[in-house]
Amino acid sequence: MVKQCTRCILPETFPGIKFDEKAICNYCNKFEELWGEWIRSEKLKAKSRKELLKIFDWAKAKKRKYDALVPISGGKDSSYALHLCKEVYGLNVLAFTNNNGFHTDYAKENVNKIVKKLGVDHVYYAEPLMVDLARHFFISTGHFCAPCELGTFNANYMIAEKYDILLIIYGSSSKTDAGFPKELNPWNPWYFKKVLKKSELSRQLGSTFFGQNYLLRSPIDRLTGKRKFILVPNYLEWNEEIIMKFLKSEYGLLFHGEHSDCMFSEVAAYLQKKRNSSVDATAMKYSLLIRNGLMDRETAIRLLGISNNKPPEVLGRFLEKLELTLQEFEEASRLSPAPYLRGIPYVFNRVRRIIRKQY
């Protein structure tokens, strides 16, 4: 039988997992170290709320046209962040949506609904090379999310600069979003360059937002105090069940699954599970909810059941969009980003993980 963490539900086959003497995994222990006390302490939560207000006051005092940029995907977390900024904290915000090439119709509809009802300015942007990049990354590394991750980060930064916005507000954080260890889903610029080295695409990218190293400029701006970035869930309680119900009743938003803003999130989940020891995004999310005290372990096990990993229905559409045969898909699914991760990309990932409180 496969050994499993006694706190969450991650098995011993999960990448990078280690167990302590109580058979609790390193991911649970790291979470406890970062957030355990905060979750149990009203005093710490009140302190965080104050800190958040201080940052918002700082932004307002700058007296720019917009106090903050809020990137929104149409998913629950970014939508809620936008609601909070505008309605609760009274910030004058610019909402921004970066289409990764795979933006779902209902995510687009969510974006339109909330932007309209809140009456905030909104910019929509689509990088024309996105699908080609996804294809190249998939057939080189077996993963296709990196261009979207880096692209979205870059696009947010680019828009913030363009509109002279000093605060960027994200609705995601490692406290509330379950990600695979970064080594399995890398997206830093050096890794990016290595993967694209011999590709025709690297030449075309020079004229897009990928041409500038925003990921490196952002920590410099942060250190010099020029521009701030915050992950709102790090400052507030973030109960997704309540958030979804609220967004539905208040704005009429609809959500389909955990990552409903991407057309091919199910393909990514299928690949993850196929490759990584039968753990998919749902099992990781449940583990995170358990650590947050928002789900108990028995419920997680019952909800997951004996899940087998079948190719999702959207796979056909994925193959069509990326112009791949099933055989090419199968071959790519056996690849790994590891050969592109040696040297600087490795060091960068380690440093970033500490700064962003990732684990």
Give 250-257's long-range contacts (Cβ < 8 A, gap of 24+).
250/83, 251/79, 251/83, 251/110, 251/113, 251/114, 251/117, 252/113, 253/74, 253/76, 253/79, 253/110, 253/113, 253/114, 254/106, 254/109, 254/110, 255/75, 255/76, 255/106, 255/110, 256/104, 256/106
Question: Binding to Zn ion by residue 281, rule CB under 5 A?
Answer: no
User: Locate tokens 């108990």: which residue?
Assistant: 296
Write down the H helix ranges in the chain.
26-31, 37-40, 42-61, 76-83, 105-118, 130-141, 146-162, 189-196, 201-204, 214-223, 240-251, 265-275, 281-291, 297-304, 315-322, 326-333, 344-355
- Tell me, by CB under 5 A, how many residues bind Zn ion: 5
Question: Binding to Zn ion by residue 285, rule CB under 5 A?
Answer: no
Question: Binding to Zn ion by residue 7, rule CB under 5 A?
Answer: yes
Q: Could you tell me the smallest distance in angstroms from the CB atom of residue 178 to Zn ion?
A: 12
Instruction: Work out the burial of residue 170: count CB atoms within 10 Å of its CB; fewer than 13 is exposed, 13-18 middle, 19 or more buried.
Output: buried
Q: Which of residues 23-42 bind Zn ion (CB under 5 A)?
A: 25, 28
Cβ-based nearer residue to Zn ion, 179 or 311: 179
Q: Could you tell me the smallest distance in angstroms from the CB atom of residue 244 to Zn ion?
A: 25
Cβ-based nearer residue to Zn ion, 5 or 332: 5
Cβ-based nearer residue to Zn ion, 69 or 289: 289
Length of the chain: 359
Question: Binding to Zn ion by residue 8, rule CB under 5 A?
Answer: yes
Q: Could you tell me the smallest distance in angstroms from the CB atom of residue 21 to Zn ion?
A: 14
Cβ-based nearer residue to Zn ion, 264 or 286: 286
Q: Could you tell me the smallest distance in angstroms from the CB atom of residue 171 to Zn ion?
A: 25
Cβ-based nearer residue to Zn ion, 108 or 297: 297
Among 1, 3, 4, 5, binds Zn ion (CB under 5 A): 5
Q: Could you tell me the smallest distance in angstroms from the CB atom of residue 280 to Zn ion?
A: 16
Cβ-based nearer residue to Zn ion, 3 or 245: 3
Task: Give the binding site for Zn ion (CB under 5 A).
Answer: 5, 7-8, 25, 28
